[in-house]
Amino acid sequence: MATEMQRQTTPEVGGMGHSVKRKEDPRFIRGAGQFIDDLVLPGMLWLDIVRSPYAHATIKSIDASEALKVPGVAAVITGADLEKAGLHWMPTLAGDKQMVLPTHTVMYQSQEVAAVVATSRYAAADGVAAVMVDYEPLEVVVDPHKALLPDAPVLRPDRAADKQNNHIWHWESGDRAAADAGLAAAEHRISEDIYIPRIHVASIETCGCVADWDAIRGQMTLHMTSQAPHVIRTVLALVSGLPEQNIRVKTHDIGGGFGGKVPVYPGYVLAVVASLTTGKPVKWIEDRSENLQADSFARDYHIHAEMGATNAGKITSLKVSTIADHGYTDAAADPSKFPAGLFNVITGSYDFPNAFVEVDGVYTNKPPGGVAYRCSFRVTEAVHAIERMVDILAHDLDIDPAKIRMDNFIQPEQMPYKTPTGWEYDSGDYPRALKLAMDMIGYDDLRKEQAEKRARGELMGIGISSFTEIVGAGPSHDFDIIGLKMFDSCEIRVHPTGKVLARIGVQTQGQGHETTFAQIIAEELGFPVADIKIEYGDTDTAPYGLGTYASRSTPVAGAATAMAARKIKEKARHLAAHLLEANPDDLVWTNGKWSVKGSPDRSKTIQEIAFAAYTNHPQGMEPGLEAVDYYDPPNLTFPFGSYICVVDIDKGTGQVTVRRFVAVDDCGNIINPMIVDGQIHGGLTMGFAPSLLESMTYDENGNNLAGTFMDYLLPTAVETPAWELGKTTTPSPHHPIGAKGVGESATVGAPPAIANAVVDALWHLGVRNIDIPLTPQKIWAILREKGVTA
């Protein structure tokens, strides 16, 4: 069992627990990163896309004749062109299918309708403006509840005869009868509708690619913004028929991912087709409006939750029914068995005897949804629902929200803990994290201040969220994406001079893998971080892996890295035994050396051993010092935390100000504390954003109302709180280095803390629930309705 890590290495070596400065930064601070739009290849053409102004319409005709007259325009590609090659539809990672270009019907506003290829960025845009498309608008379905009515238009007539409706799938987990019985027997029962709105990751770099077809060599190189390059290579091989060894996907530097760069978008495929047909490299780069209006979206969950409890506040049962709006196709990147992701982690940090969860996926005239916003597997939706429900219960029963959590937490001694929906939590100490958060923020004093302010008519709220995350997908018996098992990998090569090249199956888009994965190797083998180079994102060289999303890099590829290093350490032991003329069983490993037990002077450093592996290996032993590991995790990891938020509400304007926000996180053993803090800062900000600002909304005609940064409001440095962080450490018992994952914890945990604080400030006015985002307009209207004036 892994135990809490004490630092084993010196700062010069920089193993686990050291805040090593990032190895990737020198290029970024000089503007020398290599992002996709920085790539220019000789003879390269540009691709731009004609998009639909309608959310649902029949395409009557597409006239490209004027566009083809525009100087510089080389080609116009339509759905009819693709249909000839059978490429007008493509599979989604969720097993649905998606149009590359429509042949008859557009399904959402800004959908790709045609592509223009030209000799420059500007000529391609001119060509787009000159393509004439004649549309006949159709009835638009925006509301997923209406989509399920019998008279709703069938949006996907391409589906099987028995599926001529807008219902995609039904998924359930837990015991319905037991949950119903638990609710029926409960002394106190609450019921609430909670909507988690559609949001968009909006990484500051948009998506793009350069497709480079070499007809002579039969080689397709696809430089692209992808969080999962190997999956893309395999999908491309299956769809295009090109042999997989002749497809190379390269990612370069990625300007933020957050899940938005997992799916395959039509633009990528169009660039590939354009390169195949023109024989030249073709670049496609989205602009921001295209990115916001057409790329995959997250959330959009309409949740109905019921919870039972005793009058003393002991929770007894949970039942949740959800309508999931997936837009016109299910393009989620969830594992095959989990169309609603890991939403059944909804029992959270609490010891529920009974629980039942069901989700129904629905088609609407919106872009593909259900993908990601720094958490694709529906954990954010689950955590929001359970943390709101626990808070409502506390207020209903007039029990302090901290006490009701403490009274219902799964206790550390119950770990590993089996949930009523089938998960086995690996480790956790929930009371310790909440206690630390309460101490850090001065919880009792804040409650006193709140009482005084309320007496004066001022609106102040305190909100808690004690979340449990579920990351590290995942064990192969349960987890695959389009059939590919969700293992991950690392290959380590130790060079003769004692320097290291390691390649990983995951991808960094800002997480700092070049540094943290080097630290894992430094910890295991004693090579200084400075001597270790980490590579990724080139499918010709990196071992196969499923990529970086859902906080899986450290739990899965991090484990593979430690295991590969241990294989090297074991071979090094035999090499050292040869060099020291000792029995391998008599050697001990300390500080990057194998030494003879009891004779520390008789030792060989890992660098000496590396040299010997190439110059003086024993006869009969395989020369060299390399290892690869494909790690199939035995379980997921379950990071957790407790967040407390203090808000003040302006009665005149409805403006919510987050005065303080304390975040206590536990992600197991930490590789690099500085980077973990950075991940939490960023995650908190991406939790804050949909709580107060961001929401992708549509009018009844399916028009996107937040299609630019003028309307889709990302937090600036002004609104973003000065986050206060705390930590506890509860290692994962099954992970080789006791680590969990951390990238998404804060995004998952923050929104209910903020929502709970706002409702806490308004509960005495008769407010039970307000759906995020908690905009001034929304709060102002509630205050006026409740008779509150400035």
Query: Which residues sit at the interface with other proteins, rule CB under 8 A?
Result: 21-22, 24-33, 35, 37-38, 40, 71, 121-122, 201-206, 253-258, 287-289, 509-512, 674-675, 677-678, 681-686, 708-710, 714, 716-718, 720, 722-723
Q: What is the DSSP string of 142-190?
A: --HHHHTSTTS--S-TTS-GGG-SSEEEEEEEE-HHHHHHHHHH-SEEE
| Ordered alpha helix ranges (H), 255-299 | 266-278, 288-294
Catalytic residue among 209, 375, 490, 667: 375
CB of 223 to other proteins, least distance (A): 14
| Ordered alpha helix ranges (H), 428-507 | 430-441, 443-455
| Ordered alpha helix ranges (H), 25-143 | 25-29, 65-69, 79-84, 121-130
CB of 514 to other proteins, least distance (A): 12
CB of 658 to other proteins, least distance (A): 12
Which residues sit opposite 249 in a β-bridge? Answer: 222
CB of 625 to other proteins, least distance (A): 32
- Please report the beta strands in 279-433, taking only residues with DSSP state E, as ranges in sequence order: 282-285, 301-309, 315-325, 354-362, 417-418, 424-425
- Please report the beta strands in 572-623, taking only residues with DSSP state E, as ranges in sequence order: 587-590, 593-596, 599-605
212 contact partners, CB below 8 Å, separation of at least 6: 41, 220, 221, 222, 223, 275, 281, 282
Alpha-carbon span 303 to 320, nearest angstrom: 7
509 is catalytic: no
Alpha-carbon span 36 to 47, nearest angstrom: 14
CA–CA distances in Å: residue 414 to residues 428, 429, 648, 680: 9, 10, 38, 27
CB of 116 to other proteins, least distance (A): 17
Instruction: Select 38 or 187, whichever has its Cβ closest to other proteins.
Output: 38
CB of 718 to other proteins, least distance (A): 5
Instruction: Select 121 or 435, whichever has its Cβ closest to other proteins.
Output: 121
Instruction: Select 208 or 736, whichever has its Cβ closest to other proteins.
Output: 208
- With b meaning 16 or more CB within 10 Å and e meaning fewer, what string describes 584-601? eeebebeebbbbbeeeee
Catalytic residue among 290, 358, 523, 744: 744
Whether residue 579 contacts residue 602, with contact meaning beta carbons closer than 8 Å, is answered with: no
Residue 67 phi, psi (nearest 5): -60, -40
Instruction: Select 335 or 510, whichever has its Cβ closest to other proteins.
Output: 510
Q: Going by DSSP bridges, is the β-strand pair 301-309/587-590 parallel, antiparallel, or unpaired?
A: unpaired
Instruction: Select 128 or 686, whichever has its Cβ closest to other proteins.
Output: 686
CB of 722 to other proteins, least distance (A): 7
Instruction: Select 177 or 718, whichever has its Cβ closest to other proteins.
Output: 718
Tokens of 516: 């943290």
207 is catalytic: no
Identity of the amino acid at 116: V
Catalytic residue among 227, 507, 511, 679: 227
Residue whose token pair is 């037990």: 597
Whether residue 63 contacts residue 131, with contact meaning beta carbons closer than 8 Å, is answered with: yes
Instruction: Select 511 or 607, whichever has its Cβ closest to other proteins.
Output: 511
CB of 207 to other proteins, least distance (A): 12
Residue whose token pair is 């590991």: 629
CB of 389 to other proteins, least distance (A): 28
414 is catalytic: no
SS3 299: coil
358 is catalytic: no
Instruction: Select 524 or 677, whichever has its Cβ closest to other proteins.
Output: 677
Instruction: Select 246 or 708, whichever has its Cβ closest to other proteins.
Output: 708
Q: Going by DSSP bridges, is the β-strand pair 73-78/112-118 parallel, antiparallel, or unpaired?
A: antiparallel
Catalytic residues, which ones?
A: 227, 374-375, 744
